[in-house]
Every structure is written in C-alpha cells, then in structure tokens.
Structure 1
Amino acid sequence: MTTPSLQDGIDKAGSPIDLLWKPGAEPWTPEVVEREYVGWRQEQAAWHEGVALLNLSHHMYDMWIEGPDATRVLSDYGANNFEKFAIGQAKQYVPVTRHGHIVTDGILSREAENAYLLSGIPAAQHWVHYHAEKGGYDVAFVTDPSSAFRPGGGDPRLFRYQIQGPLALELIEKVFGAPIPATKFFHSTPVTLDGRAFKALRHGMAGQAGYEFIGPWEHAGYVHEAFLKAGEPFGLVQVGALAYATPSVESGWIPSPVPGIYTDPELAEYRKWLPLFGIEGKRPLNGSFFSENIENHYVSPYELGYGKMIHFGHDFYGRDALLKAKDDESLRKKVTLIFDPDDVRRVIGGGEDPGFVLSYARHRVETSAGLVGTTMQTASIDPVGTLLSQTLIGAAHAVPGTEVTVVWGEHPGTGTHPEADLGFPRLRATVQPSPYDRNARTEYRRNP
C-alpha cells in the first residue's frame, strides 16, 4: 500500500484548512516525561526563583546532515549567516518559501566543518532533506525521530537536560567541581563528568541563566542522577510536561507556526513527497479566528522577530521576497498579551481559578476597529498570576498598554461564516512587549 502524501490528504479533505481545522484540539505537551512532578505552579516557580531541570530528550526530532555540500544546502535554503558559524555554535535556523513565509524554525548546531545537527519539530528537517535530494547535493542524512514516533521504539540517540534558574550556575559548578568555561550564548563547550564526555550549550528557555547538556544516551541515567543528587540542597525541581510547554510564552518564542507550503504550485512535488501523517498534515488548527484561506495563517520571519537572523550576503531560496518584506509596514508585530485575571476566572474558570491553561489556538484579538490580530500560544504563568499569550497584532495596536479583547471560543470551521457572531465570550487583555520576561528581553543574549 502506498503511503498517503500531504497532497493526498489535502485533495481528499478538499482544502488545507479542511484537512487541518480541528476545533477543540488538545494542546501538545512533551511525550514520555511526567505531566507534573511536584505541580505545575511549583515547577514554573523553580526557574524563576531557584533551579529547574527540564528533560528535552524525548520530544526533539534530530537530523544529522553531513557531507561536502552540507553547508551549501543549508545556506541555499536558509536565511542565516553561514559566513560566521563556528564549530560548536548553534543558530535558530530560518528556512522560508519563495514567497518569504517561514517553513518553521529549528535549532541548527555545527558539529564539524561539514557536519550539522538540526533539531526540533521535523518541518525544517523535511524541507532541507527534500531540497538536498532534489538538487543532487553531496550530503547524507541520519534521523532520530522523537520517542513517540521512533520506529520500533527504543531510546533516543542523545540525552538533553536543561538546568536553568537563578541557582543554575551554582548547581552546575557543584556537579562539575568547577565553573564551566565562559561560553557565549548559543555556543557549546565540551565537558566531562566522571569520564563521561558530552557538551554544554549556553541556553535557557525563559531568559534565565542556564545550560543545556547534550550527549550520548548511554550516559543519560548517570548525568540525570548526578544533577538530581547535587540539586537536593538547592531545592532542584524537575519540570513536567505541562510546565515545560509554557516558558516560550514568557521568552517570546512562537512554537510551530503554520508552514507556508500548502498553496504554492511550485511546491506541489514537495507536498507529494511529504507524508500525510507528519507534522505538516497533523498539527491541528483551531480557535475563534477562522479563515477558509490557509495563507491567512502563513507567517513572515520578520513577524516572529527573526529579522536579525536574516543575512542577505548570500543567495538563498526566498531571498527576494524577504528583501521586499524587510520594510513592509503591513506586517504584524509580535507582542505579549496579559489577560485580565478577573475575566480569566469568569470566562475560563466559571468564577474560580481555572488551574492550568494551555492553548495553541488562533483566537481573535479585537478592538473597536474589529479584528487586529490573533493569539499564537496562550498559557497560565503562575508567577504573573494570569494568562499570557504570544500574539501577532497590527503595528498600530502593538504599543504597550493598548487594551484589546480576546474572543475565547472554537469556530466550527467550513460551513459557518468566518465573521459569524457565535456568542463567544470576550476577555480583556493588555499589550506588553515580547519577550515579556525582562531578562529575556534585555540581558539574556548578552550573558557571557
């Protein structure tokens, strides 16, 4: 039996929206790890006030790219600067379509002169793999899917443990017996723990101090136990799947934007190459914002705040479109919405504390002028005392302090007018900068 392609799914459903629109879809949380260890509130507090351990080992899709043309294919299909890309450095990889819409981002690490590791949800990996095959690049690929999708089960190739929070560096020094050598943001340094070699990537997820430790799975148990044991006097808290999904709302990263691949006739072959049962065919869309046109969900990397990562000193797929978009005043701005806590209790909690809330729904953001934006990810942030939402909004409404309303509900999809009054409740919210976390906004990338 032939495996159905993404294009097969679109054709059968009738349109990309009819394929992807799933009202009430459950929000994604990481696989394998416990949903909560000590409670999502305490786990969120840990990276704000103490020290937290986050396990990234199971939900990351890894693809190793190696060969004489490895740099060339990544450069040809990514907007990043490859002239300044040191071995041991990582970058947020930014691949775009010919129309300048993001495919999705990923974390790209340079492992050697002609070897890279691209990690994250697999849309960017698919993009690079396809174009490498189509273009005849001299490069080889090795993939390790996330644990929920690894054929035959088994363990990951790599462990990833993140230690972050105000006490992170003190705990790390205790584990290794000395401070880790000063490392620039998104650069790695080799480390050894009792003869076990791996690397420490200078990285965090909510603007806090910390490192991500990455190494062979055979060392996973030992390294994990070493951090747990050394962390006891520091009050180390393990972070479960619920709390893990929320730091991006504070740090300003919008996860998994809709890939801009569903409508371009030139990408028909790509859609036939992609499996239907992959991220591009199965990541659901839902919320109070509905449009029959999937292109209304496409996103520019400028809207995501990735403008500084775009390097026009090389030719790449989508370059002309990004040059035109560079000064496009119609592009939306990324902001943080702070929801009115009384409205949250009234609308979502039925008058009570709603507990943990997580949503990737595209909810309508309105003013008296009508629709001005859409939410991208919304979550409870207990230290703030309410919901925060990463939101794309028209530039005229992006000024901090602007008051808006969020339409909270699930549009049923095709067959109901996109602008129909469905009686959904409104929540008041206030525009604030993105990243919301001050440290992430002002200090994080300057940390040594």
Structure 2
Amino acid sequence: MSKPIIDMLRSNLPVAHPGWGASEYSDWQDEQLSWKTTCYIGDWSFLWDIEVEGPDALQFFTDTGVNSLQKFDVGQAKHLIQCSSRGKVVGEGILMRLAEDRFRTQAGPATWSAFLLDKGNWNARWRQIETFQFQVSGPTALQVCQDATGSPLTDVKFMHFIPVVIDGCKCFALRQGMAGEVGFEFHGDAADAPRVYAALMSAGRNLGMRRLGRRTAMINHLEAAFPTITWHYLNDVFGPDAAGFQEFLRTTFDMKGLIPVIKGSYVGAEISDYCRTPFELGWGKSVKFDHEFTGRAALEAEAANGQKLTRVTLEFNSDDVVDIYASLFRAGEPYDYLDIPHPQRWMVWADSIQLHGQTVGISTSPGYSYHFRKVLSLGYIEPSLATPGTAVTIVWGSPGKRQKMVRARVAPAPYKQDHRRDAL
C-alpha cells in the first residue's frame, strides 16, 4: 500500500505557500539578517487555530500527547507532540492553557485534535477560531514589544504568556522565539489584526524591525533547528490510526491549496520512511513515560534500543553548490535547481545521505543562510556519524535525472547559538 502512496506524492505538484504575506518586503538578505542584528515581525496567522474546552480537556491532551502535563499552569504553554501508535509524529505545535478546562492549539495539533475529539469519547468539545499570530523576534524584540504593549514583559518566563493590550486590542503575549532569539508571539482576534500589526510596526520603526517575507521565513527554522511538518518530514497520517483523517481535513478545514508532496533523491520503501519520531527530531526530552499515551510502546522500545537516526545540521560544500548553478550555463542536462534562500513551494524534501556508497540518513529541504554564507539542511543521520565535522555525501538530483554527489559536513543542530531563554 505504501508504494502507491509514495508514487502519488512524488507526482503531486508543489504549490506556493499562501502564508507569510509577500515574497519579500525589504529583500530576503536584509530580512535574514534581522534576527541577528535587530528583529523581525512575521505573520503566522494562516495556521489553523482551535480551542478545546470541557472537563476532559486536560485528559485528552494527556492521552494523545507524549508530554507530561502533571505540571501545567494556566498561563503556561507546552510544545505539544502527538504521535501515531507506531511512534511517528502526527502533529506538533504550541498548546496554551487558558483556564483549568480550556486550551488553545494551532497547526497540526489543531486538525489532529479536532479529528480525534470528533470520533472519541472525551467530555470535551473543540471549536475553530479566527485569530492573528504575529511573531517578533531578535535582539531588539523586547524593546519593540515593550513599547507596543506598555508592559515591561521582563517577568514573563519562557513558554509562558500574559494578557496585554495593543492599541486598545486585547491579546496574549507568548514568550518563545522561533529564530533562536528572544521573542514574543502575539495571539488575538483576527478582527483586530490590522490595528495590532500597525502598532507593532510603529513600535519597531526606529528599532530596525523588518517584515519577514515568505521567501526567507523558514531559514530561521533551519538555523535554529526546528523541524517542520510537511517541510522537513511527513506527518504520519497514512496508517490505520488516521483512517478518515484526509476526508475530515478536506471537509472541515480550509486546506489553503496545500497537498503533501515528496521531492529529492531519497526513495523510501514505505511511506513511514519519510516520517520521524520525537527522538529523531531532537525532541526526546519532551517524551515522558509518566502517563499512557498513543505511541508509548513504540517510543519505549526506541528509548530502550536506541534511535535509528538523530537530527543534525549539514553544511553543503560551497564549490559543489556553485557547480550545480554552473550546470545551468553549460551544454547538456543541468542538475536539479537548488532554490535559494529556500524552496518557494511547500514540499517534503528528502535527499539520500551516503557514506562509502551506503545510505546512512536523509537530508531535508536545503536553505541558504546569508549570515553564515552556507547552504545548510537539517538531516537525520545514523547516531554514530552525528559528530560535528564528519564528512558525508548528499545525493543531489531526482531519481532518473542527472545527479551530483555533493560533499557535506555534519554540524551541530541548532547551527546558530540559541538565545531564546536569555534573561530579559
């Protein structure tokens, strides 16, 4: 059954992602430097958003998430990870506790939670809500957010949120930082989005804030090592746990034109070869065996026996990258185009990582870091080869087309130093 699914996803045409606004605002190089020198504002309002409420709301997320929720205060957020019974990630994202029996979550956990609640027996209900989600992150982000909210914000712990008011509009300020820098994400009613966005822009005007366009938006995920579903791996929605999910997604949520697409040189034997476990994605510390949850047996076995792959950053050899572009100006078949700063269409990229002619891992969607002047990718590689400096080869080029063996070097993940938890 898996082979026809893989063939179908390989034949799908990727589409431009509808989120993040314009392709560029200043230009992508300038925007990339913003989270190293000043800060950016990014619009993630395209993510699906739901609230879950009821006496069993906490129990539902306990039963379906790998995280421990024994200590989960109102005003706190968790990186919720939900898995299939085989231990592969189905959905992951922010879970915010708004009240004792009311929670909010976005993106993958929103759709997956809605699906499970509709067919399950928990005494909890979900509703889709229309919200804005604006991220402000970078060295000057705190000052921008203070000026916009009139609040010091210095007492907000990492992964906690407080109510604030921006230009008369009530919203939540969640401390996080997807660029690996101090940052806040503002959540509020979609009707207030224009006013809040304008107020944040006004506060950031003299502090060098840049608007983040979709052409470079995912580079911060790459540098900070945040693997993203349907970009760096495929969520496990093709097994028996997910029977009926695709139809539910089409009929219940606006798909925004997005469909799963697989590209790259790696050819898996099973669709699950493109899916990852929390351990492989670098999230093993979030897996807690203090409660029963979907996928526990599979993850306990992985914890006991050792994971097959581990997350790393890969540095592409710059001379080999230049040769890929040079092939466009030579006679004969050119190599597959390597789009920079990253692919502008939404797809799961999977290239084979090889050592001595044997596949030892998967390299995901490559991206160009203007700050580091390198093409990088997040990769999943055999743990024995994860030491920084290890030399490997990435097979560049789709099956059946001209392929290039690109030299690469294993590097740490995150690649950029993590400042998210720095004292305010």
Using structure 2 for the length normalisation, give the TM-score.
0.88
Superposed CA offset, 1:198-248 (max 9, x none) = 111101111111111111223222221122222222222111111112211
State yes or no: 1:363 paired with 2:336.
no
Change beyond 3 A, Cα 1:56–1:307: same
SS at match of 1:221: helix
CA contact (8 A) 1:254 1:376 kept: no
1:308–1:447 Cα change, 3 Å:
farther
What secondary structure does 1:88 align onto?
coil
Q: Which aligned pairs between 1:405-424 and structure 2 lie closer than 5 A?
A: 405-411=393-399, 422-424=401-403
1:258 maps to 2:258: no
Q: Is the 8 A contact 2:279 2:307 kept in 1?
A: no
Q: Hey, what does 2:312 align to over in structure 1?
A: 335
**Cα distance in 1 between the residues matched to 2:18 and 2:284:** 29
Does the residue aligned with 1:138 lie in a helix, a strand or coil?
A: coil
Correspondence for 1:142:
127
Moved more, 250-259 or 213-222: 213-222
Cα distance per residue 1:352-375 (max 9 Å; x no partner): 997724244101111215211111
1:356-398 C-alpha deviation (Å, 9 max, x unpaired): 2424410111121521111123211110112110110111211
Kept after mapping to 2: 8 A contact 1:198/1:213: yes
- Corresponding residue for residue 162 of structure 1: 135
Q: State the shift of 1:337 in Å.
A: 0.5
* CA positional deviation for 1:430: 0.8
Q: 1:271 to 1:30 in 2, by over 3 A?
A: closer
Residue from 157, 166, 188 that aligns with 1:193: 166
CA distance in 1, matches of 2:84, 2:20: 33
User: 1:435 maps to which residue?
Assistant: 414
What is aligned with 1:244? Answer: 217
Question: What is the one-letter code of the residue matched to 1:390?
Answer: L
- Deviation of 1:76 after TM superposition, in Å, equals 0.8
Report if aligned partners of 2:349, 2:365 keep a CA contact under 8 Å in 1.
yes
Please tell me whether the aligned partners of residues 313 and 414 of structure 2 are also in contact (alpha carbons under 8 angstroms): yes
Cα separation, 1, equivalents of 2:308 and 2:260: 24
Match of 2:47 in 1: 60
In the TM superposition, residue 79 of structure 1 has moved relative to its aligned partner by 0.9
For 1:97 and 1:337, how far apart are their aligned partners in 2? 28
Contact 1:254 1:377 in 2 (8 A): no
Aligned-partner Cα distance in 2 for 1:362–1:237: 31
Query: How has the CA–CA distance of structure 1 residues 73 and 342 changed in structure 2, closer, same or farther, with 3 Å as cutoff?
Result: same
How many Å separate the matches in 1 of 2:308 and 2:3? 29
Q: Contact 2:216–2:342 (CA<8 Å) still a contact in 1?
A: no
**3-state SS, counterpart of residue 265 of structure 2:** coil
Which residue of 1 is the match for residue 106 of structure 2? 119
Aligned-residue identity in percent: 29
Tell whether 2:7 aligns with 1:22: no
Q: CA deviation at 1:116?
A: 1.1
| CA distances 1:308-365 after superposition (whole Å, capped 9, x unpaired) | 1112111111112111111333421100011122221211454899772424410111
Matched residue of 2:188: which SS?
strand
Alpha carbons 2:280, 2:307 under 8 Å: kept: no
CA distance in 2 between partners of 1:27 and 1:326 (Å): 37
**Partners of 2:422 and 2:308 in 1: CA distance:** 28
- Asked if 1:104 is matched to 2:81, the reply is no
* CA shift for structure 1 position 269: 5.5
SS in 2 for 1:130: helix
Q: How do 1:270-349 and structure 2 match up within 5 A? A: 275=250, 282-348=259-325
- The answer as to whether partners of 2:182 and 2:422 remain within 8 angstroms in 1 is no
More displaced, 332-341 or 127-136?
127-136
8 Å CA contact retained: 2:183, 2:420 = no
Match of 1:381 in 2: 369
Indicate the residue corresponding to 2:153 in structure 1.
Answer: 180
The structure-2 alpha-carbon separation of the partners of 1:238 and 1:193, relative to structure 1 and needing over 3 Å to count, comes to: same
Match of 1:224 in 2: 197
Residue 18 of structure 1: how far off its partner (Å): 2.4
- Indicate the SS of the match to 1:163: strand
Which sections of structure 2, spanning at least 5 residues, go unmatched? 330-336
Measured after TM superposition, the shift of residue 161 of structure 1 is 1.5
Q: Which residue identity lines up with residue 386 of structure 2 in the other structure?
A: A
**Secondary structure of the structure 1 residue equivalent to 2:389:** coil
Q: Secondary structure at the match of 1:282?
A: coil
Unaligned stretches of 5+ in structure 1?
1-9, 145-156, 413-421
> What code does the residue aligned with 1:356 have?
I
In structure 2, distance between residues paired with 1:167 and 1:357: 24
Total equivalences in the alignment: 408
Q: In angstroms, what is the RMSD of aligned CA positions?
A: 2.7
* Structure 1 residues 278 and 234, CA gap change in structure 2 (3 angstroms): closer
Looking at structure 2, the residues matched to 238 and 95 of structure 1 have their Cα atoms a distance apart, in angstroms, of: 32
Distance (Å, rounded) in 1 between the aligned partners of 2:209 and 2:117: 44
Q: Compute the displacement of 1:104 (Å).
A: 2.6
Q: Which residue in the other structure is 2:332 paired with?
A: none
**In the alignment, residue 132 of structure 1 is paired with which amino acid?**
L
